[in-house]
Amino acid sequence: MRRRSFLKQTGLITVGLSLAEKAAFAALSPAVNKLPKWKGFNLLDFYSPEGIPGSRPTTEDHFKWMRDWGFDFIRIPIAYPYYLGFDRSRNILPEEVYHTDPRKLEEIEALVAYVHSFKPRQ
């Protein structure tokens, strides 16, 4: 094999491998996420069926802090037994799974209404 043909062949092989590598890398790279990049925050007021010991309810200052730090949405995880009305000194009975405590539901509704009324930073 002559030097000139060797250089042509190795050059073509190098270009081919380079193009194949780019195509393979593009196939392996993750797709672009078209969803907005939200910054969320969990409000844990109703996270536990019995409430979290020593915790304080969410206040306006908490919302101001979240807004000032750039959070743009919140989640309110709620434990199902939190808003049920049953004797908590024993296990819940099947017929009690639909008995809601109106006071607990009002607490949840009040927090959701407050969240909706809170004015974001302009």
60 — pLDDT class (breaks 50, 70, 90): confident
> Chain-wide mean pLDDT for the chain?
80
Hey, is 75 helix, strand or coil? strand
End-to-end CA, the chain: 74
What residues contact 79, with CB distance under 8 A and at least 6 apart? 46, 47, 48, 49
What is the value of pTM for the model shown?
0.62
